[in-house]
């Protein structure tokens, strides 16, 4: 299979969907002239025109609000947030409007908007350009949240998100954009809401997503060297979470770890741990382990920043302890 | 005045429907029959009806927390509106929206909004969709004087002006934002002056005179349809009723309200003009009023009898594609 980068994969998804459906368009800050900060929109204006690839003012409430309004009027907008951190500027549009409109109006309309939100730690971007805020949106009924970890899923999930009649938040890790991987040719779709068993194993289930999936896979290699076979699940979607996949796996391994880059407090791991404890505690032989960032903003100094990053060693050591 | 009698009847029918609907809602609310809050539009009928008389069902509007008048003006039906305010299954939104969230997508009414200033960008987005499709549709955003101080006002109107979108911003300056008089939170006499800052026309109109509103709105709508972009219309009016039904109105005198009602009631203005010009007779107006009153009574009767939503409705319409 051919290897392309994560950003090229999302670009292919955009181009294919814009080709397929004239209602699809994309808008955001500096996406047309610049091609997006990560090259994820390069060439789209040349191909589809600046009427469908729009450089917006720096007006997050207007961009997202207009995306929702255009969706209500029959279009299928993709909205680029520049950095996921800036969703905070337009929380009304996301939480009160985009998420609620269909339900509140008794199903009279659909809200097929995709918000693309580059998140996660890149080198010394500091507290306002490095956050992973995905868990906030699990708490808001009406949204779907996807978190691809590799180019194939990036393409397949973006295409699925654009075709979804529901609003989707698409968190793409900034550090993943240049990473390469195999991507199937043709109309490659990944269903929203389905996790992926990336590596089968019998001793411990490690659930992760996005960038951290790679740390977990490194850890799984190390663990194998020590005789521990980890089953690694890439969630791919965190709203809704594929609990069936998690339950099936812990029925086999009887141990569960969740690993994410976002702060541990109130994170996706907290939700998974709580649900498993409520519904399937009897499948477990040991307490659930959560690995997430400490409860601080992301510091600037490389020296401090590395303290909030999760490494493969963190995962490996925790897994060894859990399996003892 | 060169309107034919049939059109005048239509205008009066819509205005009197709003008045009677609203008065009835106030009565029912004080009688303890209605859940939630209700904000009445009484006294502002000429604005919604005057603007919407220039629109077709294909055009869009977005509304406010004071939205019943906008709904009726745009052609929404009284019966499902009433049922919605009762929280009944037969309401426009199956009882999930209530007074502040009535929508009728079949006539381009994209919904009332519980968030002050929440509608600007939904209208901007609908106008963007219309422009992209070259459909000739326009979008109208109704908003209050208080709402004009939200940051999203600036973002929406600036983006719409920069992109020459077919959207009309209709400010209903009723002099009050809850308990706060307009002049205490603004350093300018006229909101319409802000249009200068966006390079679009800003027009002031007597919001108690439907004929003035009709004409002003027509010019703005024609301009928008011709591709010349947005207009900011400031319709000067007055909020006759309390901010919400049950408001003790400690912040103003009864005499102030009575003065406005005596001098500037848009319904009286209308009657005076059309009878004076011998276009309609008092008997015509009385007959229309009778019809409208019967319709409201019937709607109340039906809404009282209608069932509440089934429990199974709780999870319906949250997503198009199911989520457990
Ligand atoms: C963002 C937001 N802030 C505050 C409120 C509470 N609130 C509801 S109506 C209102 C006053 C709005 O005044 P205006 O826009 O002039 O409209 P009017 O009520 O006069 O029609 C306020 C403060 C709200 N619903 N939303």
Strand stretches in A56-130, DSSP E = 76-80, 114-119
Please tell me which of the candidates B96, B126, B323 has its beta carbon nearest to residue A104. B96
Q: A75: which chain B residues are within 8 Å (Cβ-Cβ)?
A: 128-129, 132-133
Residue B178 CA: nearest ligand 1 atom is: 11
Alpha-carbon distance of A287 to A302, in angstroms, equals: 33
Question: How far does the centroid of ligand 1 lie from the alpha carbon of residue B114, in Å?
Answer: 8
Counting residues of chain B whose pLDDT is more than 70, the rounded percentage is: 99
Count Cβ atoms within 10 A of the Cβ of residue A303 and give its class: 0-12 exposed, 13-18 middle, 19 or more buried. Answer: exposed
Please tell me which of the candidates A92, A106, A240 has its beta carbon nearest to residue B96. A106
- Are the Cβ atoms of A66 and B95 closer than 8 angstroms? no
Mean pLDDT of B92-111: 97
Q: Could you tell me how many residues make up chain B?
A: 324
- Are the Cβ atoms of A104 and B93 closer than 8 angstroms? yes
Q: Least CA distance to B91: which residue of chain A?
A: A106
Alpha-carbon distance of B129 to A74, in angstroms, equals: 7
pLDDT of A314 above 90: yes
- At residue B212, the pLDDT reads 98
Please tell me which of the candidates A97, A142, A240 has its beta carbon nearest to residue B118. A97
Q: What is the 3-state secondary structure (H, E, C) of chain B?
A: CCCCHHHHHHHHHHHHHHHHHHHHHHHHHHCCCCCCCCCCCCCCHHHHHHHHCCCCCCCEEECCCCCHHHHHHHCCCHHHHHHHHHCCCCCCCCCCCCHHHCCEHHHCECCCCCCCCCCHHHHHHHHHHHHHHCCCCCEEEEEECCHHHCHHHHHHHHHHHHCCCCEEEEEEECCEECCEEHHHCCCCCCHHHHHHHHCCCEEEEECCCHHHHHHHHHHHHHHHHCCCCCEEEEEECCCCCCCCCCCCCCCCCHHHHHHHHHHHCHHHHHHHHHHHCCCCCHHHHHHHHHHHHHHHHHHHHHHHHCCCCCHHHHHCCCCCCCCC
Strand order in the sheet with A168-173: A53-55, A24-28, A76-80, A114-119, A168-173, A144-146, A237-239
Nearest to B188 by CA among B199, B196, B179: B196
Element containing residue A11 per DSSP (H, E)? helix A6-20
Nearest to A289 by CA among A316, A308, A311: A316
Alpha-carbon distance of B125 to A62, in angstroms, equals: 8
Alpha-carbon distance of A222 to A200, in angstroms, equals: 15
Q: A25: which chain B residues are within 8 Å (Cβ-Cβ)?
A: 132
SS3 A297: coil
- At residue B1, the pLDDT reads 72
- Are the Cβ atoms of B320 and A105 closer than 8 angstroms? no
SS3 A63: helix
Element containing residue A61 per DSSP (H, E)? helix A60-72
Q: Is the separation of the CB atoms in A95 and A102 below 8 Å?
A: no
How sure is the predictor about B2, in pLDDT bands with cuts at 50, 70 and 90? confident
B206 φψ region: left (φ > 0), alpha (ψ -120 to 50), beta (else): beta
Alpha-carbon distance of B161 to B1, in angstroms, equals: 32
Counting residues of chain B whose pLDDT is more than 90, the rounded percentage is: 98
- CA torsion sign for B216, B221, B223, B224 is positive
Residue nearest to atom 8 of ligand 1 (CA): B116
pLDDT tens digits along B26-76? 999 999 999 999 999 999 999 999 999 999 999 999 999 999 999 999 999
Best of A103, A144, A191 to disrupt the B interface by mutation (most B CBs within 10 Å)?
A103
Nearest to A120 by CA among A173, A169, A170: A173
pLDDT tens digits along A27-85? 999 999 888 888 899 999 999 999 999 999 999 999 999 999 999 999 999 999 999 99
- Are the Cβ atoms of B91 and A104 closer than 8 angstroms? no
Q: Least CA distance to A28: which residue of chain B?
A: B159
Alpha-carbon distance of B152 to B141, in angstroms, equals: 13
Q: A51: which chain B residues are within 8 Å (Cβ-Cβ)?
A: 132
Alpha-carbon distance of A52 to B133, in angstroms, equals: 11
- Are the Cβ atoms of B121 and A93 closer than 8 angstroms? yes
The mean pLDDT of chain A is 97
- At residue B321, the pLDDT reads 80
Tokens 């009878």 correspond to what residue?
Answer: B275
Best of B36, B98, B131, B132 to disrupt the A interface by mutation (most A CBs within 10 Å)?
B132
pLDDT tens digits along A115-169? 999 999 998 898 999 999 999 999 999 999 999 999 999 999 999 999 999 999 9
In DSSP terms, which residues pair with A115 in a beta bridge? A79, A169
Q: Least CA distance to A22: which residue of chain B?
A: B133
- Are the Cβ atoms of B124 and A105 closer than 8 angstroms? no
pLDDT of A94 above 60: yes
How sure is the predictor about B82, in pLDDT bands with cuts at 50, 70 and 90? very high
Quick check: CB of B66 below 6 Å from ligand 1? Answer: yes
Task: Count CA within 13 A, CB hemisphere, residue A48.
Answer: 26
Residue nearest to atom 20 of ligand 1 (CA): B177
Quick check: CB of B30 below 6 Å from ligand 1? Answer: no
Q: Is the separation of the CB atoms in B146 and B178 below 8 Å?
A: yes
Best of B87, B119, B125 to disrupt the A interface by mutation (most A CBs within 10 Å)?
B125
Active site residue A129: yes
- Are the Cβ atoms of B317 and A106 closer than 8 angstroms? yes
Quick check: CB of B146 below 6 Å from ligand 1? Answer: yes
- Are the Cβ atoms of B152 and A61 closer than 8 angstroms? yes
Question: How far does the centroid of ligand 1 lie from the alpha carbon of residue A135, in Å?
Answer: 30
Count Cβ atoms within 10 A of the Cβ of residue A314 and give its class: 0-12 exposed, 13-18 middle, 19 or more buried. Answer: middle
Backbone angles phi, psi at B137, to 5 degrees: -75, 155
Q: Is the separation of the CB atoms in A271 and A241 below 8 Å?
A: yes
pLDDT of B284 above 90: yes
Residue nearest to atom 3 of ligand 1 (CA): B116
Which residues touch B119 (CB under 8 Å, ≥6 apart)? Answer: B62, B63, B64, B110, B111, B113, B141, B142, B143
Alpha-carbon distance of A225 to B308, in angstroms, equals: 62
Q: Least CA distance to B131: which residue of chain A?
A: A51
CB proximity under 8 Å: A 190-209 to B: 192-193
* Pairing label, strands B180-181, B176-177: antiparallel
DSSP symbol at A299:
P
Tell me which of A196-200, B66-70, B246-250 is least confident: B246-250
pLDDT tens digits along B187-210? 999 999 999 999 999 999 999 999
Q: Does A107 touch chain B (CB under 8 A)?
A: yes
Higher-confidence residue of B322 and A259: namely A259
Nearest to B16 by CA among B278, B302, B266, B281: B266
């Amino acid at each position: 299979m051919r290897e392309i980068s994560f950003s090229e994969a999302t670009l292919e998804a955009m181009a294919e969907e814009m080709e397929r459906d004239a209602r699809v368009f994309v808008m955001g800050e500096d996406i047309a002239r610049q091609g997006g900060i990560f090259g994820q929109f390069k060439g789209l204006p040349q191909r589809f025109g600046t009427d469908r690839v729009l450089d917006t003012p720096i007006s997050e409430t207007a961009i997202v609000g207009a995306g929702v309004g255009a969706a209500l009027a029959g279009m299928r907008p993709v909205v680029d947030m520049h950095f996921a951190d800036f969703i905070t500027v337009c929380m009304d549009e996301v939480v009160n409007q985009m998420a609620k409109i269909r339900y509140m109006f008794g199903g009279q309309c659909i809200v097929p908007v995709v918000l693309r939100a580059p998140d996660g730690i890149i080198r010394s971007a500091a507290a306002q350009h490095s956050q992973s805020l995905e868990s906030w949106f699990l708490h808001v009924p009406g949204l779907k949240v996807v978190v691809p970890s590799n180019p194939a899923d990036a393409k397949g999930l973006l295409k699925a998100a654009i075709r979804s009649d529901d609003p989707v938040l698409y968190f793409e890790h900034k550090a993943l954009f240049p990473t390469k991987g195999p991507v199937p040719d043709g109309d490659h779709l990944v269903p929203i809401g389905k996790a992926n068993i990336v590596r089968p194993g019998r001793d411990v289930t490690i659930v992760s997503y996005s960038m951290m999936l790679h740390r977990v896979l490194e850890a799984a290699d190390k663990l194998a060297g020590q005789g521990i076979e980890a089953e690694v699940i890439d969630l791919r979607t965190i709203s809704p979470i594929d609990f069936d996949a998690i339950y099936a796996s812990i029925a086999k391994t009887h141990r569960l770890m969740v690993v994410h880059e976002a702060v541990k407090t109130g994170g996706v791991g907290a939700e998974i741990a709580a649900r498993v404890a409520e519904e399937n505690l009897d499948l477990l032989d040991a307490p659930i382990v959560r690995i997430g960032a400490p409860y601080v903003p992301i510091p600037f100094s490389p020296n401090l920043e590395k303290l909030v990053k999760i490494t493969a060693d963190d995962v490996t050591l925790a897994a060894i302890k859990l399996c003892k | 005045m060169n309107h034919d009698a049939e059109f005048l009847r239509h205008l009066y029918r819509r205005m009197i429907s709003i008045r009677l609907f609203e008065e009835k809602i106030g009565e029912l609310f004080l009688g303890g029959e209605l859940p939630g809050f209700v904000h009445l539009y009484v006294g502002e009928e000429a604005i919604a009806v005057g603007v919407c008389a220039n629109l077709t069902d294909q055009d869009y509007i977005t509304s406010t927390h004071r939205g019943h008048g906008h709904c009726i003006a745009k052609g929404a039906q009284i019966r499902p509106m009433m049922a919605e305010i009762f929280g009944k299954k037969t309401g426009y939104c199956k009882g999930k929206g209530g007074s502040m969230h009535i929508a009728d997508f079949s006539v381009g009414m994209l919904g009332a909004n519980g968030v002050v200033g929440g509608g600007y960008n939904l209208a901007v987005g609908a106008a963007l969709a219309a422009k992209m499709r070259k459909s000739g549709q326009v979008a109208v955003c109704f908003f209050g004087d208080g709402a004009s101080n939200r940051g999203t006002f600036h973002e929406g109107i600036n983006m719409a002006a920069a992109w020459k979108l077919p959207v009309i911003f209709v400010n209903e300056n009723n002099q009050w934002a809850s308990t706060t008089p307009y002049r205490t939170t603004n350093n300018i006499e006229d909101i319409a002056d802000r249009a200068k800052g966006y390079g679009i026309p800003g027009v002031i109109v007597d919001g108690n005179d439907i004929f003035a509103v009709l004409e002003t709105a027509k010019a703005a709508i024609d301009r928008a349809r011709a591709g010349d972009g947005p207009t900011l219309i400031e319709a000067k009016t007055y909020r006759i009723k309390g901010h919400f039904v049950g408001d003790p109105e400690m912040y103003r005198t009864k005499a102030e309200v009575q003065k406005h009602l005596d001098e500037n009631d848009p319904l009286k203005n209308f009657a005076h003009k059309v009878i004076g010009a011998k276009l309609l007779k008092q008997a015509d107006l009385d007959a229309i009023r009778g019809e409208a009153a019967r319709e409201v009574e019937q709607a109340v009767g039906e809404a009282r009898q209608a069932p509440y939503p089934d429990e199974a409705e709780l999870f319906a319409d949250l997503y198009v594609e199911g989520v457990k």
